[in-house]
Amino acid sequence: MPTDKFTSRKKSLIALAAAALVGAAGAGAITSHALLQDRAQTVANASATGPNGTAAPLNPTPSTAAATTPATVTLPDFSRITDQRGPGVVNISVTGTTKTSGNGSPFQGMDPDDPVFQFFKRFGGIPQQQGPSETPMRGQGSGFIVSSDGVILTNAHVVKDAKDVTVKLTDRREFKAKVIGTDPKTDVAVIKIDAKDLPYLPLGNTRDLKVGEWVLAIGSPFGFENTVTAGVVSAKGRSLPDDSYVPFIQTDVAVNPGNSGGPLFNARGEVVGINAQIYSRTGGYQGVSFAIPIEVATKVRDQILKTGKASHARLGVVIQEVNQAFADSFKLDKPEGALVSSVEKGGPADKAGLKAGDVIRKVDGQPIVASGDLPALIGQASPGSQITMEVWREGRQQTLNARLGDASDKAAQVAKADDGAEQGKLGLALRPLQPDEKREAGVDGGLLIQDTGGPAATAGLQAGDVLVAVNGTPVKSVEQVRELIGKSSKSVALLIQRDGQKIFVPVRLG
């Protein structure tokens, strides 16, 4: 459910683990392009650890200083934060195997002058590798200690497929680590080393984190251990393509492959996030990086330490972004909310009375601005909990209550829509569905689209699609469609079923 326009969507989001694949002919370092299955107050001074492990200010805050010397601006002392917090950051090395397609020769890439290559070429032919195979893999990432007995937080993609995990401390000691559990939905992993009296990092919160506030990252980009970079919070609550559970912190801190799993600090030296992804067209840092909020990570940590796994709630809907065309169609004052394109039969949303065409605008009083806000909010709730939703239906606001299910039962879906409709007439040729066609499509009503032209064709509608509803109203006749379109001024939202899947498509009217 993307909430931002990314020029190059999937290939631009780069997980930050630095990895290397080792083939039959040798090793070569490559940047991991693992795509994920898809946020500061006035500058504060650095701090020391207080008596209870909390961060206590070392110097007067800028607001206090400003009262006496309004012309003076004091930058955070990053050296103090690094000196005090650095020992709690670790380097993580992993070895394991990754599955490959296996099509081709196991000697692919080998020097043609190699004696082994020449032997097979002359006497037996080059053997072809059939079926999937496992290829040795090495990788590096970062992490940070959260308890003195060796519990460490990192990214799930750092330890994915790992057979051996080695943790290196700043004092150069190395430990074999055990993966306690991973949660791919949030990209958080918990590992543990057998050690005592370790330095651990104080955790902050993102509620007090402000856009423009200074933040600091420590990690191992490209294997360069204990590298420190700084920047500011660019945005909060970002939803990324292919990610449904994390409201990311966006920063301009320079992070690169190998920074994955490392901490993001505020200016008081508290951990506020886990560095996880970058937006890049080159595979390296280009000014946009994303961190998992520490509240998300600690919730996952607590669940994994208690049960060995993390759980997330599920509403049971397929949703779409609300653009201006949809806002006009549904008579919304502004293009905000999550448009429901289909509801899972018998699921939590269905039981709550949610319908296709509803626009979810608030959950428990929290606004749903972009569609990605909904799954990020629902995913952090506990299965079985009850929520209250403010829903826009047929030009009126309604309130619905739902008891959430478990995301492990069935993954939520996100509809992908082409929002490139143009101005012009509707351009649809329709006819009623025959009884056998209704049974095959699994619908009670609807009209078959026989032909398309003009803006309907431009919007992506095709002959054979089934028109289920117009602006959220189920349709059963051509005359009803004409009437509904006649009442629309700028655009209409057509609910289309194709190959068993439903999606709203906006079509501009002339």
pLDDT tens, position by position, 351-370: 999 998 999 999 999 999 88
**Which has more confidence, 27 or 340?**
340
Would residue 163 count as lying in a domain? no
Shared-domain flag, residues 452 and 493: yes
| Residue 33 is labelled as binding a ligand | no
Token pair, residue 344, equals 């899972």
Would residue 40 count as lying in a domain? no
Do 496 and 444 touch, CB atoms closer than 8 A? no
Final residue belonging to a domain, choices 279, 307, 335:
307
Token pair, residue 473, equals 């109203």
Shared-domain flag, residues 303 and 319: no
Do 24 and 45 touch, CB atoms closer than 8 A? no
Mean predicted lDDT score pLDDT of the chain: 79
Is the predicted pLDDT of residue 385 greater than 50, yes or no?
yes
pLDDT of residue 11: 45
Mean pLDDT for 6-23 is 52
Final residue belonging to a domain, choices 286, 307, 328:
307
Three-state DSSP at 117 gives helix
pLDDT per residue over 120-144, tens digit each?
555 555 555 555 566 777 889 999 9
| Residue 242 is labelled as binding a ligand | no
Give the HSE-up count for residue 390: Cα atoms under 13 Å, Cβ half-sphere: 13
Tokens 């990754």 belong to: 98
> Considering 260, 289, 342, 371, which one is annotated as catalytic?
260
Shared-domain flag, residues 389 and 444: no
Shared-domain flag, residues 372 and 390: yes
Mean pLDDT for 102-119 is 55
Q: How confident is the model at residue 156 (pLDDT cuts 50, 70, 90)?
A: very high
CATH number of domain containing 285:
2.40.10.10
Is the predicted pLDDT of residue 103 greater than 70, yes or no?
no
For the chain, how big is the Rg over CA atoms in Å? 27
| Residue 142 is labelled as binding a ligand | no
Tokens 């918990």 belong to: 190
187 is catalytic: yes
| Residue 312 is labelled as binding a ligand | no
pLDDT of residue 115: 59
Shared-domain flag, residues 217 and 301: yes
Do 203 and 298 touch, CB atoms closer than 8 A? yes
**Which has more confidence, 479 or 108?**
479
Is the predicted pLDDT of residue 41 greater than 50, yes or no?
no
pLDDT of residue 337: 93
Do 134 and 16 touch, CB atoms closer than 8 A? no
**How far is residue 294 CA from its own chain's centroid?**
15
- Rounded distance between C-alpha atoms, residue 174 and residue 172, angstroms: 6
Final residue belonging to a domain, choices 284, 307, 330:
307
* Closest alpha carbon to 471 in 460, 483, 463, 459: 483
Would residue 226 count as lying in a domain? yes
Shared-domain flag, residues 229 and 302: yes
pLDDT of residue 177: 96
pLDDT of residue 71: 53
Beta bridge mates, 50: none
CATH number of domain containing 442:
2.30.42.60
Is the predicted pLDDT of residue 401 greater than 60, yes or no?
yes
Q: Could you tell me what percent of the chain has a pLDDT over 90?
A: 41
Would residue 175 count as lying in a domain? no
> Considering 38, 187, 328, 373, which one is annotated as catalytic?
187
47 is catalytic: no
| Residue 258 is labelled as binding a ligand | yes
Mean pLDDT for 217-234 is 94
Is the predicted pLDDT of residue 60 greater than 60, yes or no?
no
* Closest alpha carbon to 12 in 242, 183, 186: 242
pLDDT of residue 123: 53
pLDDT per residue over 168-191, tens digit each?
999 999 999 999 999 999 999 999
Mean pLDDT for 487-495 is 82
Task: Find the domain containing 281 and state its range.
Answer: 213-307
Shared-domain flag, residues 298 and 248: yes
pLDDT per residue over 269-314, tens digit each?
999 999 999 988 887 888 999 999 999 999 999 999 999 999 989 8
Shared-domain flag, residues 227 and 284: yes
413-414 vs 317-321, strand pairing mode: parallel
Would residue 481 count as lying in a domain? yes
Would residue 466 count as lying in a domain? yes
> Considering 157, 220, 243, 358, which one is annotated as catalytic?
157
Q: How confident is the model at residue 117 (pLDDT cuts 50, 70, 90)?
A: low
Do 183 and 153 touch, CB atoms closer than 8 A? no
**How far is residue 192 CA from its own chain's centroid?**
25
Longest alpha-carbon distance in the chain: 87
Mean pLDDT for 216-243 is 89
* pTM of the predicted model as reported, rounded to 2 decimal places: 0.65
Shared-domain flag, residues 217 and 303: yes
Shared-domain flag, residues 273 and 287: yes
Is the predicted pLDDT of residue 501 greater than 80, yes or no?
yes
Shared-domain flag, residues 347 and 282: no
77 is catalytic: no
Residue 157 has φ and ψ, to the nearest 5°, of -75, -15
Q: What angle do CA 39, 41, 45 make, to 5 degrees?
A: 115
Would residue 65 count as lying in a domain? no
Would residue 43 count as lying in a domain? no
Shared-domain flag, residues 220 and 301: yes
Mean pLDDT for 111-122 is 56
CATH number of domain containing 334:
2.30.42.10
Domain count, the chain: 3
Is the predicted pLDDT of residue 316 greater than 80, yes or no?
yes
Do 267 and 310 touch, CB atoms closer than 8 A? no
Token pair, residue 152, equals 């460490």
